[in-house]
Amino acid sequence: RRSKLYYLRDRVGKAAKVKEQIRK
């Protein structure tokens, strides 16, 4: 299944968005 891949991607994407918000 690709659920793991999507789960990891979603997690990384959310972390990146949060980091960007904190930087700004």
Question: pLDDT tens across 1-24, in order?
Answer: 778 888 888 998 898 888 888 887
How many whole angstroms separate alpha carbon 13 and alpha carbon 6? 10
Structure confidence at residue 1 (pLDDT): 72
Burial pattern 1-24, b for ≥16 Cβ within 10 A else e, equals: eeeeeeeeeeeeeeeeeeeeeeee
pTM (predicted TM-score): 0.40
